[in-house]
């Protein structure tokens, strides 16, 4: 079992719809969770961080964390073609210091 798992996609959504991305992790003691957006050929860019159970909203993005079920999700509302990218889930396992474990990423395609 991989430590951080994501559906590789592509997740195809029409413009204006909600894109829903999921990520599961194996280390129950993990404390910090991050979503990065990576455009093709570019480096990852941090878009959301979440540390406690529940929802965290930032503009069109909402991160949801459920530590009991060991999953974290990202919702993108009013999806735009510019949201087309690969979204990487990263988890900071317990006792890992500042180290992160990354999932393989979910590719999102927003169609006009």
Partner 1 sequence: DGGITQSPKYLFRKEGQNVTLSCEQNLNHDAMYWYRQDPGQGLRLIYYSQIVNDFQKGDIAEGYSVSREKKESFPLTVTSAQKNPTAFYLCASTLTGFPQHFGDGTRLSIL
State yes or no: residue 88 binds partner 1 (CB under 8 A): yes
Give whichever of 76 and 87 is closer to partner 1, judged by the CB atom.
87
Q: Which residues of 66-103 are buried (b: 16+ CB within 10 A; e: fewer)?
A: eeeeebbbbbbeebeeebbbbbbbbbbbeeeeeebbbb
Nearest CA-CA partner of 105 in 53, 44, 64: 44
Which phi and psi angles does 78 have, rounded to 5°?
A: 50, 55
State yes or no: residue 102 binds partner 1 (CB under 8 A): yes
State yes or no: residue 104 binds partner 1 (CB under 8 A): yes
Binding-site member from 19, 34, 65, 74 for partner 1 (CB under 8 A): 34
Q: Footprint of partner 1 on residues 37-66 (CB under 8 A)?
A: 42-46, 49
Contacts with partner 1 by CB under 8 A lie at 4, 8, 32, 34, 42-46, 49, 88, 90, 97-100, 102-105
């Amino acid at each position: 079992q991989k430590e951080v798992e994501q559906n590789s996609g592509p997740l195809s959504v029409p413009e204006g719809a909600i894109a829903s991305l999921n990520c599961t992790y194996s280390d129950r003691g993990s404390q910090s969770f991050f979503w990065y957006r990576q455009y093709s050929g570019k480096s990852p860019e941090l878009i959301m961080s979440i540390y406690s159970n529940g929802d965290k909203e930032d503009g069109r993005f909402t991160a949801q964390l459920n530590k009991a079920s060991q999953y974290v999700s990202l919702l993108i509302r009013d999806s735009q073609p510019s949201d087309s990218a690969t979204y990487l889930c990263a988890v900071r396992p317990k006792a890992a210091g500042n180290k992160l474990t990354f999932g393989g990423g979910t590719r999102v395609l927003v169609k006009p």
